[in-house]
Structure 1
Amino acid sequence: MGLNAAKNPNDKIGIYYDSLDIYASYRNQQVTLATLLPTTYQGHKDVTVWSLYLYGNGVPVAPYLAPALAQDLNAGILLLDIRVDGRVKWKVGTWFSGGYRLHVNCPAYIMFSDRSAGAGVQVGPAVKFQLVQRCTVDV
């Protein structure tokens, strides 16, 4: 799954992204390994694009999630939350802020053409997802 982009809509404030981890969760359980995003400075009105992948081979899920997962797999669609957690700093002129915690959540659907995936989700080398709604960002 590739991450799309982040936009800085401000024309006076730059953003330093530092120590950001991205991962996917299913019903609030992390189901991929966290991937560290590269440290990035995003200038005024800039758009930053990251090209990375999330991996979750053989990830067990909590037993209480099994009925919901089986139902989602049978329907051929899975709702995951793509999450980013880390730290950001702001730059205004020559002034730098202290660090702030950043939490981003992007609900996304993954559709499967093969509904007979069984107990595990077996997908090809890459899976595309469709965002359900805009991402929520908390700083």
Structure 2
Amino acid sequence: MSIKECSHHDDEDRRQLLHRILAAIASLIILILVTIFLIWIILKPTKPRFTIQDATIYTFNISSPISSPFPTPNTLTLTMQVTLSIHNPNNRIGIYYQKLHVYGSYKNQQISLPTVIPDTYQGHKDFTVWSPFIYGVGVPVSPSRLSALVQDENNGMVLVNVKVNGRVKWKVGSWISGRYHIFVNCPAYVRFAGDRNNGIGVVAPAVKFQLLQSCSVDV
């Protein structure tokens, strides 16, 4: 009889211990969630805001295919400098920008090599200005995009998307977060100049366009 009672008490003790462990785990999870929620309420984290202020076009032209037994595609040559203004709207959060690349895109086709932006730290409420050059020499253009580019040239304006791709970290006090991917898309409308009757888009060198256009930012 005493053996059965001891076994019963042991089972009861194990159940109580298991309940205590589960209750402690649940309390810890709730505490973590409440802490995260309170930090979010206090800090109100906001992603950075990008604005493309201007774009200076040095070269933007399409080369004709070379006549040969083996047809060559049209190619695009682009040289431009853009001015990007970046604002950190957070009161208590600093931002590290790392491994950033800037490049030009036309209708989702990359038309330049990526230009590296040096790693940067941006403090609370700070503004930062970048002025990278974007280069693309002899970039092949597909027939569908060539048709669209010629149509844009006939309309007198082409939309080049300046894109930024890289990583960011958030800094609160001495704490630094892990890395997050950031993708920025800035529309830059470029007007054509010169001869518009040859079907090939040409922009005269050193034409500066004031844009002041907000960019979309995904983090």
- Residue 30 of structure 1 corresponds to 110
Q: Check if 1:58 corresponds to 2:138.
A: yes
- What TM-score do you get using the length of structure 1 for normalisation? 0.89
- Deviation per CA, 1:37-96, whole angstroms, max 9, x where unpaired? 110000001101112211112222112211111111122211111100000000000000
Tell me by how many angstroms 1:129 deviates: 4.1
- What TM-score do you get using the length of structure 2 for normalisation? 0.58
Q: Check if 1:119 corresponds to 2:200.
A: yes
Aligned length: 138
Q: What is the one-letter code of the residue matched to 2:92? A: K
Q: Secondary structure at the match of 1:33?
A: coil
Question: Which of 21, 40, 49 is equivalent to 2:120?
Answer: 40
Greater helix share, 1 or 2? Answer: 2
Question: Which of 64, 78, 97 is equivalent to 1:17?
Answer: 97
Q: Percent identity?
A: 56
Is contact 2:170–2:177 with CA below 8 Å preserved after alignment?
yes
* CA distance in 2 between partners of 1:60 and 1:127 (Å): 24
Q: CA RMSD in A?
A: 1.8
- Where do residues 93-112 of structure 1 align in structure 2 (5 Å cutoff)? 93-112=173-192
**CA 1:20–1:32: 2 relative to 1, 3 Å:** same
Larger radius of gyration: 2
* CA distance in 1 between partners of 2:212 and 2:154 (Å): 20
- Residue 154 of structure 2 corresponds to 74
